[in-house]
Chain A
Amino acid sequence: MAGWMGRVVRVDLSSGEIRDEPFDQDVWRRFLGGRGFGAKVLWDELRPGVDPLSPENRLIFAVGPLTGTTAATSGRGSVSTKSPLTGTITDANTGGKFGVIFKKAGLDALIIQGKAPKPVYLLVSDEGIQIKDASDLWGKNTDETTDLLLEREGSRASVACIGPAGENLVRYAAIINEKHRAFARGGVGAVMGSKNLKAVVARGLRTVEIADKERMKFVTYEANKWLRAHPITSKGLPEFGTSVLVNIMNEAGIFPSYNFRQNMFEFAEEVSGEAITEKILVRKDGCWGCIIQCARRTRIPGDEGEGPEYETNWALGPNCGIHDLEIITRANYLCNRLGIDTMSAGGTISCAMEMTELGYYDAGIRFGEGDKLLEYLKKIAYREGIGDELAEGSLRFATKHGHPELSMTVKGQELAAYDPRGAQGQGLAYATTNRGGCHLRGGYLIGRELLGVPRMIDRFSAVGKGSHTAILQNLGAALDSLVVCRFASFALNEIVWGRLLTAVTGVKYDPEDVLEAGDRIFNIERMFNVREGFSRKDDTLPRRLLEEPAPMGPTKGRVVELDRMLDEFYEFRGWDSNGVPKPETLRRLGLEECLNG
């Protein structure tokens, strides 16, 4: 078989059974891999209402047909589950090399269910799959766990593990691979912790069979030429990393600070990509085989690591009123070691800060208190004191204390570093994500509304944003299933991805087939959420963004005009006015399995 390895393994941690599943080629053709395959399994296997932290929940590690090939940015991996933070379907996507090594072990996907009676880790190698004792690793942070497992399983292995946050079921715990990379969002680490699974270690040397090697060589050459020629992938990202966005978002008045009380930050320059380059950068870095090299290897007094990336930088910095780059970087390293999603951690702490400032509830921390931020991250990971409440995420915390409107979340997941009051389409994108507040799964409208990629559209207009949003959601779902990096798509479009996919698998994919696969994946995810009780009422934004006009700068006076955009979006998607995919839409996408769901 070309592209796919042709192997799916199921591990039941309760019984200890490990067995090969039949490989249904038609499913992989329709859902590609990664996020798409995960969504299909969750739709087929999870009954509605399952507690995400129960043994019944599934945790699916999956890669895609392009993973581990010469295709641009194909060094990524994906995990899917039902989120303990949002109750929706979720997937998380990581860089580094874990995905590639996982595929080299000879697998396309690993479906994990049940709960081990004691802490274990899984060794996934080309020599076999084993459940191994991890009692001595429980309680250790992700650095220590990684080092010990590499010592045990060999330095060629790649480790994806949880830290104390995952063990303690923090609802936004992450899975960390290669110490600095994260399957970050939605609490995937807590699901792993609930199964007593400390780590998945991949090791292998298998190669991916390519259907048409000559064609692949040519399309790879061509794709890399585009990446080297495009100003964003050849200069913008490698030169200053993702935090280069700080200044432009601030100048445009869509850089949130102080839990979105402000839409600009008076100290933006101090935490900008330019400042990172000047003050803490050691060297640039990148994922397996990637020529973009957008990652930042950084150093601060007494410590060294990777990051902060733009979203992390903002969440732990400006959104908490903090502008000390050293503290932000230290908090980033700490989150990686504890195994916490930096974005939800920052969004939860900023909510607690605002509750304190307004006198609604004294959480003991105020805007700008950097040292306390570090202390609170530890409290969260170990669920100590106030940390136990904050480990539940900002929505549960704010609701418990009577002010849910101060949780800057969608479907319970904390938002990203763009104030949608100055980018209407991004507001629609946030509101309609399948995994809750997210700038990527909802569609990165910022690319079109602020950055002019592939072309600039009017960011203040609420008209025509439905189609832009849906198309970007579909493309994103396809890319997450291939599994490749979103950044490559600044330079490469669905035509290139279709050609790569055709060369690798031997199955003909035209550009519209790639987009249709994304459409299918987005819709099966939506159907999963519908089955869980989600509908139009949940496709909304925090009250602040809908009712409080932005207070500053070029965005001053604006709110998100969500309702009219939603109607247009549902119509474009072929959903009814309550946001439920119509039967004819499901039929068009070949989702017969959802018709009676």
Chain B
Amino acid sequence: MKVQCRLFASLREKVGAKEKLLDLPRGARVSDALASLGLPSEGSYILLRNGVHAELHEPLSEGDVLSVFPLIAGG
């Protein structure tokens, strides 16, 4: 299944891309997507699946957009 990953802030340099279309096996979880991106799952991230907070163990679905941020703040 196809999952669109969007990367932000320092993760763009780390992964070498702003966006990546991943082809993952059915039943893959958020942590599997991170592994495909070469990001350690023990790292600290803010993860949004289709704009809503996601957990590492959460299963993904075909066509999902996964946005991955390092820990950030401001305001």
The interface of chain A, by Cβ under 8 A from chain B, is 231-232, 235-237, 239-245, 247-248, 251-253, 273-274, 294, 309-311, 416-417, 439-440, 444, 446-447, 450-453, 456, 459, 486-487, 490, 553-555
Task: Determine whether B71 belongs to the interface, using a CB cutoff of 8 Å to chain A.
Answer: yes
> Which of B9, B67, B71, B75 is within 8 Å of A273, CB to CB?
B9
Given A252-B48, A452-B46, are A447 and B9 neighbors across the interface (CB < 8 Å)? no
The answer to whether A240 and B9 touch across the interface, beta carbons within 8 angstroms, is yes
> Which of A310, A459, A555 is within 8 Å of B74, CB to CB?
A310
The answer to whether A232 and B73 touch across the interface, beta carbons within 8 angstroms, is yes
The answer to whether B74 and A456 touch across the interface, beta carbons within 8 angstroms, is no
Complex CA gap A555/B67 in Å reads 16
Which A-chain residue is minimally distant from B10 (CB atoms)? A239
Task: Determine whether B51 belongs to the interface, using a CB cutoff of 8 Å to chain A.
Answer: yes
A selection of 24 A-B contacts at a CB cut-off of 8 Å is A231-B70, A236-B9, A236-B73, A236-B74, A237-B73, A240-B72, A242-B74, A244-B8, A244-B9, A244-B74, A245-B72, A247-B8, A247-B67, A251-B48, A253-B51, A274-B12, A309-B74, A310-B74, A311-B75, A439-B75, A450-B46, A486-B75, A490-B73, A554-B50
The interface of chain B, by Cβ under 8 A from chain A, is 6, 8-10, 12, 44, 46, 48, 50-53, 67, 69-75
Q: Which residues of B contact A446 (CB under 8 A)?
A: 75
Given A239-B9, A240-B9, A248-B8, are A553 and B70 neighbors across the interface (CB < 8 Å)? no
Q: Which residues of B contact A310 (CB under 8 A)?
A: 74-75
Q: Which residues of B contact A440 (CB under 8 A)?
A: 75
The answer to whether A487 and B9 touch across the interface, beta carbons within 8 angstroms, is no
Given A236-B73, A310-B74, A487-B73, are A252 and B12 neighbors across the interface (CB < 8 Å)? no
Complex CA gap A244/B73 in Å reads 7
Complex CA gap A253/B35 in Å reads 26
Q: Which residues of A contact B51 (CB under 8 A)?
A: 251-253, 553-555
Q: Which residues of B contact A237 (CB under 8 A)?
A: 72-74
> Which of B67, B71, B75 is within 8 Å of A416, CB to CB?
B75
Complex CA gap A453/B72 in Å reads 9
Complex CA gap A116/B57 in Å reads 66
Q: Which residues of B contact A416 (CB under 8 A)?
A: 75
Q: Which residues of B contact A447 (CB under 8 A)?
A: 73
The answer to whether B74 and A243 touch across the interface, beta carbons within 8 angstroms, is yes
The answer to whether A251 and B6 touch across the interface, beta carbons within 8 angstroms, is yes
Q: A240-B9, A252-B52 are in contact. List 10 more A-B contacts (CB 8 A).
A: A231-B71, A232-B72, A243-B74, A245-B72, A248-B67, A248-B72, A251-B51, A253-B51, A417-B75, A554-B48
The answer to whether A244 and B48 touch across the interface, beta carbons within 8 angstroms, is no
The answer to whether A231 and B44 touch across the interface, beta carbons within 8 angstroms, is yes
Q: Which residues of A contact B8 (CB under 8 A)?
A: 244, 247-248, 274
The answer to whether A248 and B46 touch across the interface, beta carbons within 8 angstroms, is yes
Complex CA gap A490/B44 in Å reads 14
Complex CA gap A251/B67 in Å reads 8
Q: Which residues of A contact B73 (CB under 8 A)?
A: 232, 236-237, 245, 447, 451, 453, 487, 490
Complex CA gap A439/B74 in Å reads 11
